[in-house]
Structure 1
Amino acid sequence: MADDMDSRSTRRTKHLFKDALLRLLETESFAYISVKDIVETADFNRTTFYNHYIDKFDLLDDVTKDLLDEFGDALQKSFQKYYPNSKILMKKTDITIFEFVYQNRHGLSICKQTELLPNFSQKCSQAVLDKLIDVWSPQVDMAEHRFKAYTKIFTYGLMGTISGWMSEDFSTSPETVTQEFIDFYNFKVENMH
């Protein structure tokens, strides 16, 4: 029972530190955020911070891992039934990935800070590719090389759309980006022979 309480307390404390970092990232570059800023925003002391993290980079790693895990979940939810050779037209209600990206745009802003996370965009693309292969494999009946090629192109299209949207500082609404992506996908499905 005590371990469960400690575990809950640890998760709660870590969540508050992660949330503090994400809130700070809304207005400040990671390079200018200090541990002092994080603990003040989280309303804790430095000792508590160092009981859970080595430094702000350790916290950043934890935030990044959470974002990638949640991104993978949103990806699976969005595209599970839209696998290669699926003749189903995409529905806007199914595609939640762009809303997820928009809601997490401040945390995802670390992607633009390439000195912090070298090769992060490549790691994200690889994670997306791996997730889609995992989700789609049981449903696909096509040659493996074609399946992998399709999944790679789909991944690059999706990640390029997200990257371009981020570089435009999300000037387009998530609804519009979602609709544009759906229109592109559905054009392919409608023109399959």
Structure 2
Amino acid sequence: MREMKESRKTRYTRTALQDSLFELMKEKSISQITIKELCENADINRTTFYAHYADQYDLLHKIEDETLAWMQGALDSLIHQTERSEMIKILEGIFQDFIDNNRYLQILISEQGDLDFQKQLFTLIYRQCGLSSSKPLITGTEPYSKEDYLIFVVNGSIGLIQHWLKDGIKRSAKEMAEIIYTLAAQIGEAPMPRNTDKNTL
């Protein structure tokens, strides 16, 4: 019974600190948040905080790791998917989670979130969707690498989704899935025109 109570207390403490962190991250970046205000906002003392986390970054990174593990599980069904409609359907489910099934995702993907985490998340999504295996772009005689393509698509997607969330989620999850998949696929397939004007830089 004692172990169960301690486990419940631990879960409560972690949840309270996570809620406090994301409440503060709605207004400021992680670098601007102090342990003092994090604990005061959660009504948790600093000693208890340090029993679970090294600092505010450790708290955030543990949440990010859990989110990446959750996303990997959500994407497992994509392993054998090749049909466009099926991949869009799965992306739609992911974006719907951004809206209502994960209380932290909107903050993690926002401008206040960790950009490195956002890149990891979307790289994971696109690799699982097979978008990173698209044909390389061509400009003149030199093709862009698949890595260049993935970096471009990942960063573009992050910006588009941040705008979507910041703008009040005016498009549905299905519309966002179709837009992002279509843009990523078109970028991967469309060759760049050769510049034949020697006077043009």
TM superposition score category, shorter chain reference = 0.5 to 0.7
Distance 2:86 2:57 in 1: 42
Identity, in percent, stands at 23
CA deviation after TM superposition for structure 1 residue 39, in Å: 0.7
2:167 counterpart letter in structure 1: S
TM-score between both structures, scaled by the size of structure 2:
0.61
Higher mean C-alpha displacement, 59-68 vs 38-47:
59-68
1:83 alignment partner, one of 62, 71, 81: 81
Q: Does 1:178 find its partner at 2:174?
A: yes
2:21/2:38 contact within 8 Å kept: yes
Query: Which residue in 2 is equivalent to 1:44?
Result: 44
Say which one has the larger Rg.
2
Matches within 5 A, 1:42-121: 42-74=42-74, 76=75, 80=78, 83-84=81-82, 86=83, 88=85, 95-102=92-99, 104-109=105-110, 113-114=114-115, 119-121=116-118
Q: Tell me which residue corresponds to 1:149.
A: 133
Aligned residue for 1:142?
none
**Following the alignment from structure 1 to structure 2, what is the Cα–Cα distance between the partners of residues 64 and 113?**
9
> Shift of the alpha carbon at 1:31?
1.4
Q: Does the 8 A contact of 1:20 with 1:42 survive in 2?
A: yes
How many angstroms does 1:121 deviate by?
4.2
Which ranges of structure 1 fall in alignment gaps of 5 or more residues? 137-146, 189-193
Two-structure CA RMSD over aligned residues (Å) = 4.0
Work out the CA distance in 1 between the residues paired with 2:2 and 2:9. 10
Residues 120-135 of structure 1 mapped to structure 2, 5 A cutoff = 120-129=117-126, 132=128
Deviations 1:45-90 (A, max 9, x none): 111111111111211211221232333345x28x749821x27567
The 1:111–1:56 alpha-carbon spacing in structure 2 relative to 1, beyond 3 Å, is: same
Aligned to 2:161: 165
Q: Which runs of 5+ in 2 are unaligned?
A: 135-145, 186-201
